[in-house]
């Protein structure tokens, strides 16, 4: 028999964040840490099955998955009755039920320019939100989109209560009021976030046990790796995943946990993050851009000369895998059997440059086919990590006689120049906002130039396929289009796909039932602790 | 005399502060980059960038932004943090306590210890003890604070378990006796070497003075000469030095605060710099500048109070 609330107040999960949060108002944040806490406090309409891989959408506060009509333009959902927000003084002692109006209000806030939400872009396709009934929500889209359900599972779309937002005003980031499994108990900004199990949380059962099983989560902000590592080893924390810098200390070369830690009952869970890192060429640049054969040859040669294995081994300290496909593991549309046609082959790269007229001058560096000096400019920030990438790029291009110029700029200015299509070449990364291939394939869609399409790539062939893929649900037909788009990108060498990083989660013996989910980060609701 | 000195010094605050304001403003706009691109998220479009710039006020002409900055200093209201929306005044009100919990005992202990040690080595000037301590100080001073933090945290907290590895609690007693103990120890050890060297020179200056020779000639005991006469006179530059350290330490103790997870001002400054959070950066710079000027003035007045021979001009 299930009790009113199974959460044991004596079971407190202790974890760390390696950077300070910015607050817990869903429309105002874009950082991982704030988003994780928001995920634990607020309830989106949909979520993902904890164990299914690739990630599988399931209803959360919705009674069922949305009904999609009007050729993919209309999404209709029913909110389950009897779900309540956590008690808060703003409700003046009354129980406040969650309704469709709350979702309409919450999504509407993203669309309000005054919110200045960093995630407004994921709702740009929304034309109208309607609430024909207390529990019925209808979202009308500007264009057909069969993947919009993923947006409704995005943790930041959790419902907020209008009266709480209006009451707390500018201080609402410090007063989150949601209907999720946890609520904020104590908060010292940039230092400590203490969550407790929401006593009014709806009945959510897994394997016969009511969730959450733990009484709370204590999050300490620890910026320094040594502090996190020592705290974990002393047993001060239960779970640690931000230790890639000291990974060789606890991991063998084959990715297994060292025996000394295994003997202590410590567990290691290793998964690949749903992200890609890539090197992009600005397709509008005069030196490396364009679709002329000699330009494609130059990009191809650079891509074939870049030592990805060295990047993984030296810079990533072995904590990454080579990315072969633009859609990473754990994301719908990923193809584990796909192999990139761009391989490391400096000899072939040299031959290719010779063939297309990039001859070496007396100084050992190549010149353009018209005899002008060839200088490739690679942009990066002044950060120490980026200096390692600069050196690797220099070594790689020296091997094919291409002169490299390193362009150093502050991060905001790099983004600005990138949006104006004024950089020549830069490394970039993209982590899934939602676990669907569309989130990655849109990175090369022409109209997204100057936004997420940082290569400023415009190809009618690619765009047609992409637009067609938007009308299709996840499946073989869409996969075929994604394959064609990927091959096209490779043939024209717009990107060189680099790697996807590992996430190594260390767990103390007392942590039970933890499985790293590709996109959910507040798995705390599913785990248990030994006392 | 003192009042005209005060008026003149206070008047000098204005151009000094104006210089600081101008420098910070230029540096932020030159080095900091456009904050709208940091706040716009993963896919910024030009409209959103423009909206954010409008919201932050960075779309205004520079002279208007500078005017707003001056107004903020005059009213003491620096608005809200760009990244967290928290009032800047609230940030300082909540972070000052943890910083002072570490810095006050650190300064007190290190001053007492270094004064005692400096007086002893000055007294034994040229002896083997003096030379050994001076060589030790030179070596200790050449080691980075980062090394002290890493080693002390690893050995004293992790290996020996004498202190918490990191953390911060809710009560003053818990923090002072628990979480702040190791950070204070690190701070004391780091500051001892340079302070002993500096204070030794102050003591040596005093030991060579005529009044010391006279006191000895009168037959005063060495302890009385050193503790009463020499110490009192050497304490004047030492007090000035301690006071002058305070504003810099408040913002400069960021390494200690980061490694030991202390929610203090230094750590907040680093977070603000990482996020290009100009309201916080502006406030810190102005507060540190004002504190430095006020403390310098206070030190001059203290000098005068401790030594009536000092003329304030």
pLDDT digits 0-9 by tens, A87-117: 999 999 999 999 999 999 999 999 998 888 8
Locate B149 and state its tokens: 């933090």
What percentage of chain B has pLDDT greater than the value 90?
51
Q: Do A233 and B35 touch (CB under 8 A)?
A: no
Residue in A220, A236, A415 closest to B37 by CB: A415
Average pLDDT over residues A21-31: 93
| pLDDT given for residue B1 in this prediction | 59
Average pLDDT over residues B244-259: 84
CA distance A413 to B33: 6
The owner of tokens 């004064």 is B115
| pLDDT given for residue A146 in this prediction | 87
User: Cβ distance A63 to A202 under 8 Å?
Assistant: no
Please, what is the end-to-end C-alpha distance for chain A in angstroms?
A: 22
Least confident residue range of A314-328, B94-108, B237-251: B237-251
With a cut of 80, say whether residue B313 has pLDDT above it: no
Q: Do B43 and A121 touch (CB under 8 A)?
A: yes
Q: Which residues of A155-169 are buried (b: 16+ CB within 10 A; e: fewer)?
A: bbbbbbbeebbebbe
Q: What is the CA radius of gyration of chain A?
A: 25
User: Cβ distance A225 to A248 under 8 Å?
Assistant: no
Query: In B, which residues are within 8 Å of A430 by CB distance?
Result: 42
Mean pLDDT of chain A: 94
Q: Please provide the DSSP assignment of B138-198 as one string.
A: HHHHTS-HHHHHHHHIIIIIIIS-SS-SS---SSHHHIIIIITHHHHHHHHHHHHHHHHHH
| pLDDT given for residue A5 in this prediction | 54
| pLDDT given for residue A131 in this prediction | 98
| pLDDT given for residue A411 in this prediction | 84
| pLDDT given for residue B53 in this prediction | 87
pLDDT digits (tens, 9 = 90+) for A194-233: 999 999 999 999 888 999 999 999 999 999 999 999 999 9
pLDDT digits (tens, 9 = 90+) for B68-103: 898 999 898 999 998 888 999 999 999 999 999 999
Average pLDDT over residues A387-400: 97
| pLDDT given for residue B42 in this prediction | 77
| pLDDT given for residue A369 in this prediction | 96
Residue in A25, A116, A188 closest to B263 by CB: A188
Q: Please provide the DSSP assignment of A414-447 as one string.
A: HHHHHHTT--SEEEEEEE-SSSBTHHHHGGG-GG
Query: In A, which residues are within 8 Å of B84 by CB distance?
Result: 22-23, 173, 189
The owner of tokens 């707390």 is A168
Average pLDDT over residues A436-448: 94
pLDDT digits (tens, 9 = 90+) for A406-429: 999 888 889 889 989 999 999 999
With a cut of 90, say whether residue B28 has pLDDT above it: no
Locate B300 and state its tokens: 């001059």
| pLDDT given for residue A375 in this prediction | 97
pLDDT digits (tens, 9 = 90+) for A228-284: 999 999 999 999 988 888 898 999 988 999 999 999 999 999 999 999 999 999 999
With a cut of 60, say whether residue A4 has pLDDT above it: no
Average pLDDT over residues A156-160: 97
Query: Nearest chain B Cα to A22, which residue?
Result: B84
| pLDDT given for residue B309 in this prediction | 74
CA distance A402 to A364: 9
Q: What Cα–Cα distance (Å) separates residue A22 from each residue in A369, A437, B242, B276? A: 51, 29, 35, 13
What element of type H or E holds B259? helix B254-259
Q: Do B267 and A190 touch (CB under 8 A)?
A: yes
Mean pLDDT of chain B: 89
CA distance A398 to A378: 13
pLDDT digits (tens, 9 = 90+) for A444-472: 999 999 888 999 999 999 999 999 998 88
Query: Nearest chain B Cα to A411, which residue?
Result: B33
Locate A484 and state its tokens: 């064609």
Label the pairing between strands A8-17 and A214-221: parallel
Residue in B80, B271, B276 closest to A190 by CB: B271
Locate A276 and state its tokens: 């890609």
User: Cβ distance A470 to A322 under 8 Å?
Assistant: no
| pLDDT given for residue A1 in this prediction | 42
With a cut of 90, say whether residue A6 has pLDDT above it: no
pLDDT digits (tens, 9 = 90+) for A55-95: 899 999 999 999 999 999 999 999 999 999 999 999 999 99
Cα dihedral: B107, B109, B114, B120 (round 10)? 150
């Amino acid at each position: 028999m299930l009790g009113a609330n199974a959460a044991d107040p004596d079971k407190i999960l202790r974890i760390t964040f390696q950077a300070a949060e910015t607050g817990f108002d869903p429309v105002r944040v874009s950082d991982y840490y704030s988003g994780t806490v928001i995920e634990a406090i607020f309830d989106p309409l949909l979520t993902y099955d904890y164990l299914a891989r690739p990630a599988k959408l399931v209803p959360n506060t919705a009674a069922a998955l949305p009904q999609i009509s009007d050729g993919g333009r209309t999404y209709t959902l029913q909110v389950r009755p009897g779900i309540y927000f956590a008690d808060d003084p703003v409700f003046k002692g009354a129980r406040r039920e969650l309704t469709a109006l709350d979702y309409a209000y919450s999504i509407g806030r993203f669309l309000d320019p005054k919110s200045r939400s960093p995630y407004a872009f994921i709702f740009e396709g929304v034309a109208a939100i309607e609430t024909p009934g207390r529990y019925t929500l209808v979202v009308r889209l500007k264009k057909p989109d069969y993947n919009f359900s993923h947006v409704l599972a995005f943790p930041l779309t959790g419902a907020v209560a209008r009266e709480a937002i209006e009451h707390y005003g500018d201080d609402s980031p410090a007063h989150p009021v949601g209907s999720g499994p946890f609520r904020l108990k104590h908060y010292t900004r940039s230092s400590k976030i203490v969550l407790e199990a929401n006593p009014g949380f709806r009945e959510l059962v897994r394997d016969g046990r009511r969730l959450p099983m733990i009484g709370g989560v204590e999050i300490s902000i620890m910026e320094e790796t040594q502090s996190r590592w020592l705290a974990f080893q002393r047993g001060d924390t239960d779970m640690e995943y931000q230790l890639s810098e000291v990974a060789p200390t606890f991991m063998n070369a084959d990715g297994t946990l060292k025996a000394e830690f295994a003997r202590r009952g410590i567990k290691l869970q290793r998964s690949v993050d749903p992200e890609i890192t890539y090197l992009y060429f600005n397709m509008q640049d005069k030196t490396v851009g364009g679709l002329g054969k000699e330009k494609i040859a130059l990009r191809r040669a650079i891509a074939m000369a870049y030592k990805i294995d060295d990047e993984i081994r030296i810079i990533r300290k072995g904590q990454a895998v080579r990315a072969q496909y633009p859609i990473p593991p754990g994301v719908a549309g990923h193809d584990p059997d796909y192999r990139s046609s761009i391989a490391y082959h400096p000899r072939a790269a040299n031959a290719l440059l010779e063939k297309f007229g990039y001859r070496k001058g007396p100084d050992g560096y190549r010149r353009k086919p018209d005899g002008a000096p060839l200088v490739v400019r690679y942009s990066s920030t002044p950060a120490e990590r980026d200096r390692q990438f600069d050196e690797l790029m220099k070594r790689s291009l020296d091997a094919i006689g291409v002169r490299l110029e390193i362009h150093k700029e502050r991060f905001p200015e790099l983004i600005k120049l990138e949006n104006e299509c004024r950089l020549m070449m830069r490394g970039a990364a993209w982590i899934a906002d939602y676990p669907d291939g569309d989130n990655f394939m849109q990175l090369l869609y022409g109209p997204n130039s100057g936004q997420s399409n940082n290569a400023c790539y415009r190809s009618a062939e690619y765009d047609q396929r992409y637009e067609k893929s938007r009308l299709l649900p996840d499946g073989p037909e869409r996969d075929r289009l994604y394959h064609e788009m990927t091959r096209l990108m490779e043939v024209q060498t717009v990107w060189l796909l680099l790697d996807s990083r590992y996430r190594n989660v260390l767990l103390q013996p007392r942590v039970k039932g933890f499985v790293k989910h590709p996109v959910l980060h507040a798995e705390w609701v599913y785990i248990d602790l030994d006392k | 005399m003192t009042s005209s000195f005060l008026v003149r010094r206070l008047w000098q605050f204005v151009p000094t502060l104006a210089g600081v304001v101008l420098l910070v403003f230029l540096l932020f706009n030159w080095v900091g980059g456009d904050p709208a691109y940091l706040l716009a998220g993963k896919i910024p479009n030009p409209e959103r960038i423009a909206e954010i710039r409008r919201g932050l006020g960075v779309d205004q002409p520079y002279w208007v932004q500078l005017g707003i900055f001056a107004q903020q200093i005059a009213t003491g209201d620096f608005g809200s943090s760009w990244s967290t929306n928290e009032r800047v005044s609230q940030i300082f009100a909540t972070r000052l306590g943890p910083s002072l919990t570490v810095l006050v005992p650190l300064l007190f202990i290190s001053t007492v210890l270094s004064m005692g040690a400096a007086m002893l080595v000055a007294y034994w000037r040229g002896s083997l003890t003096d030379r050994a301590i001076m060589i030790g100080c030179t070596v200790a001073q050449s080691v980075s604070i980062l090394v002290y933090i890493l080693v002390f945290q690893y050995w004293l907290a992790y290996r020996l378990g004498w202190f918490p590895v990191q953390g911060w609690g809710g009560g003053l007693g818990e923090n002072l006796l628990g979480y702040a103990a190791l950070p204070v120890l690190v701070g004391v050890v780091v500051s001892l070497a340079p302070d002993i060297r500096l204070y030794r020179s102050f003591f040596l200056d005093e030991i060579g003075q005529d009044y010391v020779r006279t006191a000895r000639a009168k037959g005063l005991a060495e302890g009385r000469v050193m503790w009463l006469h020499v110490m009192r006179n050497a304490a004047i530059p030492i007090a000035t030095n301690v006071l002058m350290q305070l504003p810099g330490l408040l913002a400069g103790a960021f390494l200690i605060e980061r490694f030991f997870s202390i929610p203090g001002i230094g750590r907040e400054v680093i977070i603000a710099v990482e996020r290009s959070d100009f309201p916080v950066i502006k406030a810190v710079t102005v507060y540190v500048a004002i504190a430095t000027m006020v403390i310098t003035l206070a030190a001059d007045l203290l000098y005068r109070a401790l030594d009536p021979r000092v003329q304030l001009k």
